[in-house]
Structure formats: C-alpha cells, structure tokens
Structure 1
Amino acid sequence: MSSAQDHLASGQDDVRNGNLVPSGQAEPATKGRSTRLMHSRLGTPLHHERDMRVICIGAGASGLCFAYKLQRSFEKFSLIVYEKNAEVSGTWYENKYPGCACDVPAHNYTYSWEPKLDWTAVYAGSAEINKYFNDFAVKNGLHKYCKVNHQVVGARWDDKKGHWEVQITDLKTGNIVNDQCDILINAAGILNAWKWPDLPGLSEYKGKLLHSANWDDTVELEGKHVGLIGNGSSGIQILPAIQPKVASLTTFIRNPTWVSPVQGLEQHVYSEQEKDDFKNKPGHLLEYRKQNETALDTLIELFMANSQAQKDTRVLMTDQMKEKLGNDFLAQKLIPQWGVGCRRLTPGINYLETLTAHNVKVVCGEIEVVTDKGCLCDDGKEYPLDVLICATGFDTSFRPRFPIVGLNGVDLREQWSKESLGYLGIAAANIPNYFVFLGPSCPIGNGPVISAIEAQADYMLMFCDRWQTENIRSFAPKQEAVDDFVEFTDDYMKKTVWDEECRSWYKNNSSSARVSALWPGSSLHYMEF
C-alpha cells in the first residue's frame, strides 16, 4: 500500500491576475506586470500563515480534542463548533440509561495529557465521564468556540470560491443560520444516530416505549413488568441495573454474544488508598495506565482467526460464561459458535449472573410482532409488558445524516449509500477540505479509542498547517487511493474473526457484509501509520 502522502490530491494554486484559482485552468493574458509578481503571497515570509476558518460538527470527545489542539498550536484561525445538544460531551451527555458506562477502563478513556486522578472504578459511569469532558472544556476555555443547540443540516463545497457553505438550524428558534469555512471537520461520532428496531407493530404498542439512547428518566420502572430487547453493550448494562427495581423482567435475545471482561481489567471500585496512590505516588498512575493500554493494544492477536490467543481465550471465556450462568440451557443458547471478538467485547458486569435471577425470564429467538400489549415471539407466545425498552443501537452505516456535497455535486450520502468507502478512517474521495473523526475503517474497536482520536486530530491539523502556510487550495484523497486502501483492508479482514458470520455493527448490523468499521491492524499500527 502506498503512503498517505503519495495519495494526497492537493490543488496547488496558480497565479491568475493576482487571484488563487485551481490548477489546470487556462492562463489568461496579462499586461505589463509579470503574474509572478502579482502573487498574493509574494512579499511575505516563507510559510506565512493565512487566515483559516474552521467549522467543527460536534463537541464530544473528538470535537473537544480538535479544538484544544488547534487552540494550542495555531494562530490566525477562527473556529466554531456546532453542537446539537444543550451541553458538550456528545454521547456521554446523551446516554443516561440505567447502568450506562464505558466499556474501556476509565483511566484509559482520557486524553493522554489530561489524566483524571479520582475515577471511582475501573469502568466509569456516563455521568462521571460527562463531567470529565465538561471539566476539560472549562479548564481549557473551549466553550468560547462552542455553539450549543445548533445542528448542522447541510454543507456544500463551492469550488469557485474554494470554501464550504454550511447550513445550521438554531434548535431554540428554528431559524436557519448560514456559515462558511475553509476546512470542515465532522466530529459527530458513529454511535450517535439511534434507531428503533425494525419490528412490525411497534407503533401499536400501548405501554411505555423507551430507547436506551433516548432515555426518559421520568418513567417509573418500580413494580412494573419490563421487557428488554437487545444484548449488545447497552442491553448488557441495563439488565442488571434495573433488575432489582422491577417486578419482573423479560429479556428478548436474538443472537448469542461473548460476555466477559479482559483478564486483569475486571470491574473494581477503587479504594480511597488506591485513589490517594494515583494522586500522590510518583509514577504510579502512569504505570497503571501503561499496563492497561498494553493489555488493550495487544488484543490484536486475539482478533486473528485461528491464533493461539483466540483459541485459548475462547476456552477461558466459555468456562467463565458457563460458571456465571450456572444453567446449561442458557449456556447453549448464549455462548457463540463464532470467534471471540467478532462482535464488540463487553465486560458485562453482573449480566450473566442476573439472567438467572428469580424475576428474570430469558426469551431466545425472534420477535415476530409487537402487539398493543407486548411482544409475540416465534415460540408462539405473547409476553405482556408494562414497559418495553429497546436497546437496539444506532445507524452505523457511516452515511452522513445531512447533505455533504463536494466536487461536481457529489453528495457523500449517495457516494456511501451502498458501502462507506473512506480513506484512513478520516476522509472521502470527492469531498475537499473535509475530515471525519472515526470514519469508515478506523480503530474504534482495535484498542483505546481516545488514543485514536488524538492521532486523527494530529493528522488533520498537519493538513490544516499545510493549507495555512502553502499555496494549497484544496485537498482530498484520490479515488485510486481509496480503492487501494479498501482492497488492502478487505484482504486483511479475511484473516480476522471480524469477518466471521456474526451480526455486528462492525458490519453495519449485518452478519455477512463487509467489515466497514475497523482498521486493518492494531491501534498502535494506526498511530504509527
């Protein structure tokens, strides 16, 4: 695979009557003065910085990281971060369902330069993570760039003017705001557009309907018969959190999944002594973070099909799941036949043990239709419910949720309508001066995701620097670069468990589609690349 630099398609601007225009256009006649002397950058120091306007979509972990690094290292820029929510923090502001937590150890779910000394546990809850990112924004004065309650609804590249025209809805007034920028950064995130399950009759249900990503905390669960659809990360967290409160809980499980923490990274509430050591013992926290990150970064061997690590881990996790379930029938239904890691691994704290609680019923199979009373399943039984919780995830197709129109009227939604074929997890052909955080084929499941976000921000800012200091009008990956990268990625995926037949959002919630979400290698490989 050739290098990213080789595949950069950058329009080096030529002199045209003192104006900067794309290369390849005809040279007009000039009188008297050499066009060389009329160049707008002549008479300025080498690498002189021109003014740069940047719009960033989203103020979650990615958007705040970008804003911090831009502020720290650049001058002569203006930045605005449009955030649709009322506060920053992205998914950690939005997701408030019972038991909501990160499945990455908290001390490694921080920016590398901004540790938090007092995390309460190995896996922190959403409120604690939300506070971390809010505090980070306050500490570094990032709110001055953020315009909350403003949702980007469209962006179009003007190739004549060499900039983006962006449309934003003020969610408080409903008014449309028009803005422009030289560089457009999409930090909206992949796990952001939640969706209802595609089940017949869902709209006919007369009880209370909830979605994990749009939680209504005014709904009372105490004493109710509650149904839970889904056994992905959200469903696995919700079940043990609500089980003690409800009268009865019926969980509907369509597919098996591996549930167990990585060895050495089991859930643990930190003692006051441990937190004091993190704060006051020189080098202690840094060493702990390094150990965790090493464990996460070296998981790549586990994800290789037929590797010894895969075989050993499969035996270990099978034994652990059987022990925690203590039920042969459930073990047969819930332990997968496909490899460990084909679906995203989750720690599953107290999930398996709770499945056999006195007030929990497990229904394995398909829901054929949702009735006005509850769920009718393929076992022929109807399960009446007071409350139905859908922990059914997000649209993970990577397709933008609004028009992003690039060169020659190409809309990225259409370009990615069948397959989201991007470049290095950050860019797309035909879309100039545009970067996306955690785009297709990024290391979102290969290791610590914040490290990947930092690497992506650095890469984006490298090109922002080139745009600001060189005669670059626009840049985008060539189609041949995208094709080369996709071919390399697809070939790599054939060697991994991710390519096995399991339903996963790594494959756009399909069991047999192309692995579109993950980087072809380890997270360390991504950062080195």
Structure 2
Amino acid sequence: MRVIVIGAGASGIYMAYKLKYNFTDFVLDIYEKNADIGGTWFENRYPGCACDVPAHNYTYTFDPKCDWSSTYSSSREIFQYFSDFVDKHELRQYIASHHEVTETRWDENASEWVVQVYNREIDSTFERRCDFLINACGVLNSWRWPTIPGIQSFKGPLLHTAAWDDNVDLTGKRVGLIGNGSSGIQILPQIQKVAKHVTTFVRKPTWVIPTFGSEMREHTDEERQQFRENPEEYLKMRKATEKVLTGVYPLFINDWPIQTQTAEYMKASMKEKINNEELAEQLIPDFPVGCRRLTPGVNYLESLTLPNVTTLYGEITEITPTSCITSTGTETELDILICATGFDTTFRPRFPLIGRSGHNLQDEWAHEPRSYLGVAASGFPNYFMFLGPNSPVGSGPSIISIEVQGSYIAEFLNRWQKEDIKAFDPKREAVDDFITQKDLFMEQTVWNSNCKTWYKSPVTGKVTALWPGSVLHYIETMAKPRYDDYDVTYASKNRFAYLGNGFSQMEHRPDADTSYYIRARDDGASVADSWGH
C-alpha cells in the first residue's frame, strides 16, 4: 500500500505515527513544503504567538508533556514538542522537507493518484503514484495580504504574522498593525513594549475573552517536577481541563442561558479593561459571543489604552509608500507595517486536484466546500483530508479531532489491504444529505449570526468550517465508518475473492494465540473485535 501525505504538521505527523504502529507492507511519503516539520507552528513565529488552548491539553492525547514552561505555550515550544515526537518515534524517515505538491490527478484505469512534487532545493519536479492521497495541509496555512490599494508600494518593512521576519527590529519604530483577529490580539501587547508608537487599525469589533481552562502564568520547577512524578494526578488535571474545553459547546446555541450570561459578563469585562467609553463602543460587538472564533486576549485590551498605542476604527482605503490612509481621511506615517490578516480559508486546495471525470476540486469547491463529514469529497476516490470543511475546529480542542480523523482514515486503509479493494468514493447523495443536515442545524447556532468570520463561506454565507455539534458528538459519529455511504470498487469481480485459501493470517504465525476467544468470563467485548490482538 502506497500512501502520500501532504504536510508534516500535527495531522501529517499523526498519520505517520498511525501507519508505523498499526500497519505493515506500506510505503509512506510525506511531502512538506517548509524546511522542517510543524506546519503552522513552524511558520507562525511572530512575537506573542501562542496556542489559545492550555498547553497540557495541546498534545496528542496519549503523549503528554510534563515540562511546559507555562500554562499557555509559545509557538516555538509547541514546534519543539512535535519535533521531539517525530524524533522519539523515528518518523523523519517518511518526511521530505522542501517538497511541495503542485498537482494531483486520479488515474481511473490504475486506481491510483498521480502526484507532481516540486523539490524546492534543487528546483526540480518529479512524479509519484500512490493508492491513497491524504491532505494534511490544514486550513490556516495559506496566508494572505489584505486587498488594500497601494499595499505593495509601502517602502518600509512589510510583514505578515504568518511569515514573520526575525531580522526586522521594531525598537523605537512607528508601527502599523492591521487586524484584530487571533494573531493581532496576540502580537499587540508584545510589539507595544518595544515600538515607539503602534497604530492598530480595527475594521470590525470582536469579543476578547479571558483565558479559559487555566490562567496564564509560568510553571515553577516544583510544579513541573510534580507533573513528572505524579502521573495519575497529572492525568486528572488534563482530564479536568479537557472537560472544560469540550464543555464550552452549549455557548454556541442560540438563546441558551450560558450565551446570554457570557455576553453580559464579557461586556462588563471588556468595558472595565478598556476604561474608555468611545473605544469600548467601537470594540464591543453586537453579535453573539462565539460567532467569531473565541480568542483569549492577555493584556490586549489593556495595551489599547497605553500612551504609545492609537486605535483607528474603520477601513484603510489606501497605503502609500510611507503611510496608511483611513476612510475618515486620517493619514498615519509609519516605519513598519504588520498585517495580521489571516489566511485563505475557502478550503480549496492550493494545487489542482483532479478527480473522476476530470473534475478539479478547486472548481468544485469554488463557491462552497462540500465535504463528507470533514474528511472526504465525492468524486475523489481514496482521497482523505484532515480538518476539512465542517470539522470541529471551533467548539473545542483540535488535537482530538485530528486523532479521530486519523483513526477513521486508518479504517479505510486497513480494509483496502485486507479485502483487495481498489477505491472508496463517498456517494454524492451522502454528501448532499450531510450538507442539508448541517445547514439546518446551523440555523440554531450563533455561528449563523451576522458577523464577518472565516467560519463562513465568503460566497454563500453558509457555515463551512464547523461541525454541527460538539467535539464528543463528532468523536461518536466518526467511531465507525458508514461504508454504505461509499461506492466501493473491488479489484476482483467477486467481492469475496479476498477470502483466499481459507486460512486466517494468524494461523501462519507460530506464536499467535489462535484460541483468543476462550476467556474466563463475558467481558462485554465482541469476539470479532478481538481478532488478531
């Protein structure tokens, strides 16, 4: 079995781990466009960049890290966690850095994906074929400049938070900051400390929440020692934090008491921290809490009130070689301009992905991404993705969702190997039914409210990024594949040809427990589920 994974971030690394420890007779190639693994945690290195989930729960669920430096870890520390994980499990053997997938095409006759790969180091393109193509690029990966006239004419350093240049010194400079999403909220308190003056340009209000799950603080050496030496207590802490993180879901349901209570609390909290009636009126939204991604803002609101920070509310209409001009006519002279303006979140692949009948997924999803349960696309056999459209990325922690999707994909790889199958392709009607159910459900959530957010399609306005339910709901939904929702193509005309010579594989292993079904009591487990264990 030949598998190609695109991207060596948290998802691609987990897929490599899953294959190494659960499969034999496979060839795995992971192509990573960057110089190293880590994905978003390799690319995002701006000052203040950190995870908005408590560090002890931003790990694979089975691989805790006891020595996080603080309750919320920096991007560089998270990168190091994944790098250490790769080395510990010897996964670099599967990863080719500086390799970018530029085109993929399904070969119907061979039931294979034909993949064009560009080697950036030697400026050369080559072709590989595989039985399964797994897209682990993620959605917060393809960063974008704001579409403001004159932006490329700016003569000073022009930075994007997702492509940070450590060589640019902000000390004593007049700095402009465009954007008040997650990265804008994180970077302002850090750059304010060194810049002569920061002008932050805010186009839309947003809810800035306190940290949740645990308070932001450094861990002491004594605490880290306790985590290491008391694994049971450490597990209890992680489970308690996870319960808080997954329990936030009711907040997103319209008219639930927790929604109203949270909104009132947040208004009061933001007003107290801003302590400026005019600024508070501009920054506190009139849309429900959770319509946009919730982002903890440590010292963000307080920074807005400092003498060397100016907040300009409204659109930037023009950028000149030395300044930004807003819709009110205000012109601000700047030395450095930082764009915290996010990513292309349309879910369209960055490269041509040609499936059956010559259909390109870039075109199929131009107006609305229509996935099957966030992991597959109809008309694109043996193609799976991590954190695709309508995955649970906004209603709880994402790492467990990655693990759930990786295990789901592994079920198909396992069946492909065992049953001599050529292709799995989700049925169009199954996708249509899922999308219909998703759209109906979203009507009762705050995600469907009137706010500008990457959760929605910029074309249709439908919620395309989020799962219609909680994280636990998704875990249960994905526990076992609904194979009836797939068109399955067998290698043989007889679907039972894989039964072969009548022997179980374990009967060829001298050390196998061929009487595994004999046990002292009914343990509740299915006999079939114990096969081969």
Q: d(CA) in 2 for partners of 1:172 and 1:127?
A: 24
CA deviation map 1:338-395 (0-9, x unaligned): 1111000111111010001110000011111111221110111111100000000000
Q: Secondary structure at the match of 2:252?
A: coil
Which residue, out of 214, 221, 230, partners 2:179?
230
How far off its partner does 1:233 sit? 0.4
Q: d(CA) in 1 for partners of 2:41 and 2:155?
A: 30
Amino acid paired to 1:223: G
Which residue, out of 115, 118, 121, partners 1:172?
121
Q: d(CA) in 1 for partners of 2:5 and 2:88?
A: 20
Q: d(CA) in 2 for partners of 1:267 and 1:317?
A: 18
Which residue of the partner structure matches residue 258 of structure 1?
A: 207
Is the CA contact (8 Å cut-off) linking 2:211 and 2:297 kept in structure 1? Answer: no
Which residue of the partner structure matches residue 39 of structure 1?
A: none
User: Counterparts of 1:181-220 in structure 2 under 5 Å?
Assistant: 181-220=130-169
Which residue of the partner structure matches residue 370 of structure 1?
A: 319
CA 1:525/1:376 → structure 2, altered by over 3 Å: closer, same or farther? same
Q: Does 1:346 align with 2:346?
A: no
The worse-fitting range, judged by mean Cα deviation, of 291-300 and 262-271 is: 262-271
User: Counterparts of 1:447-526 in structure 2 under 5 Å?
Assistant: 447-508=396-457, 513-526=461-474
Which residue, out of 182, 188, 193, partners 1:244?
193
How far off its partner does 1:471 sit? 2.9
Percent identity, aligned pairs only?
52
Q: Secondary structure at the match of 2:281?
A: helix
Runs (4+) of structure 1 exceeding 4 A deviation are none
Is the CA contact (8 Å cut-off) linking 2:174 and 2:198 kept in structure 1? Answer: yes
Which residue of the partner structure matches residue 330 of structure 1?
A: 279
Amino acid paired to 2:66: L
How far off its partner does 1:261 sit? 2.4
Q: d(CA) in 2 for partners of 1:426 and 1:265?
A: 31
Q: Does 1:426 align with 2:375?
A: yes
CA deviation map 1:51-85 (0-9, x unaligned): x0000000000000010011101001110100111
Question: Number of aligned pairs?
Answer: 477
Q: d(CA) in 2 for partners of 1:494 and 1:422?
A: 19
Q: Does 1:271 align with 2:220?
A: yes
Question: Please, which runs of 5 or more residues in structure 2 have no aligned partner?
Answer: 478-533
Q: Secondary structure at the match of 2:2?
A: strand
Is the CA contact (8 Å cut-off) linking 1:266 and 1:347 kept in structure 2? Answer: no
Q: d(CA) in 2 for partners of 1:284 and 1:269?
A: 19
Which residue of the partner structure matches residue 9 of structure 1?
A: none
CA deviation map 1:484-510 (0-9, x unaligned): 000000111111100001111111468
How far off its partner does 1:119 sit? 0.6
Question: Please, which runs of 5 or more residues in structure 1 have no aligned partner?
Answer: 1-51
Which residue of the partner structure matches residue 270 of structure 2?
A: 321
- The higher-RCO structure (CA 8 Å, 6+ apart) is 1
Q: d(CA) in 2 for partners of 1:262 and 1:90?
A: 24
Q: d(CA) in 2 for partners of 1:432 and 1:507?
A: 26
CA 1:152/1:282 → structure 2, altered by over 3 Å: closer, same or farther? closer
How far off its partner does 1:273 sit? 2.1
TM-score normalised to structure 1 length = 0.89
Is the CA contact (8 Å cut-off) linking 1:396 and 1:509 kept in structure 2? Answer: no
Q: Does 1:283 align with 2:221?
A: no
CA deviation map 1:397-452 (0-9, x unaligned): 00001011110101100110111011111000100000010000001111110000
Which residue of the partner structure matches residue 60 of structure 2?
A: 111
CA deviation map 1:127-171 (0-9, x unaligned): 100000000000000000001110000110000011111000000
Amino acid paired to 1:300: Y
Q: Does 1:123 align with 2:123?
A: no
The worse-fitting range, judged by mean Cα deviation, of 137-146 and 252-261 is: 252-261
The alignment yields a C-alpha RMSD, in angstroms, of 1.0
How far off its partner does 1:220 sit? 1.3
Which residue of the partner structure matches residue 301 of structure 1?
A: 250
Q: d(CA) in 2 for partners of 1:85 and 1:282?
A: 35
